[in-house]
Chain A
């Protein structure tokens, strides 16, 4: 199976967040097919770039997609083809 690019992993995480209103980190790991360690930099990236936000519900850490994250998903194909054509 072909290894996913960084952009594709971010897309997969955002798709999980878009389909569910609020998601726990364990759910994200399971749905996006990532390991406990490998998800951390991606989560940091999503939070840092305002693609997702963290909410505390019943003392549990949950994540949800932001409008900026929705914009990313709409433009994802364009970004992917652009970066692929220039090898970025």
Chain B
């Protein structure tokens, strides 16, 4: 009997992608929480929760991809039978992992949706949560329902980020818009993963590029704020020097 540790259908490539997504989500969540600590605006706290939920969801996805198989080789009259078996508790981990992945992923994007649409009515929030729970339960039998639900949420988020880009016209807003557009296309691709596993791989790659855009935005944000602070300091320094020169020349005249 031989034991093998497997990382899902794509030999762990998808798990690496998900690990990178977790990192990016955690960076954004940390950044947003830092802003909340400074200005105590609840929007930033919820924004941080949203990305934290997305990061947690992908942790569960990686866990559900981890499966330990055992291989039994039976030799009978020169014929070799190889039987692959999965431990029963592994199947349970796989099942629960996917349920938690879907739950946290929908929670994350739903919080983002509430922030962007500025939904504060408890009735509306409970209604959306109720429909999301139904979508998660149904997705146990029909996986595509989960992706269709996410596509709907992402459709609203993408349109918001497009409007935001139209209003501001900066590289940062463009990057965020592209990121969410790619997430939308990737989840649209996941709908068809049952037909062909390549749809799953394409979706994963698009999802990675999407989160990579968000990472570039975070890096740019850090650089831009540093540059602006440097420019401001230089401006203040030159103003001080000019002021001192004027004072000196004023005294000289007197």
Contact = CB atoms under 8 A, between A and B. Distances in A.
Nearest to B163: A87
A82 B38 contact: no
A86 B43 CA distance: 11
B224 A88 contact: no
A49 interface: yes
Contacts of B167: 87
Interface of B is mostly: helix
Contacts of A74: 229
Contacts of B31: 82
A84 B168 contact: yes
Contacts of A71: 38
Interface string B13-45: 000000000000000000110110011100110
B221 A81 contact: yes
B63 to A, nearest CB: 29
Interface in A26-72: 48-49, 51, 68, 71-72
Contact of B164 (A81, A82, A87): A87
Which among A72, A78, A85 has the highest number of chain B CB atoms within 10 Å?
A85
Interface string B71-92: 0000000000000000000000
A81 B224 contact: yes
19 contacts: A10-B39, A49-B40, A68-B38, A71-B38, A72-B38, A75-B35, A75-B38, A78-B225, A79-B35, A79-B39, A81-B225, A84-B173, A85-B170, A85-B175, A85-B221, A86-B47, A87-B160, A87-B164, A87-B173
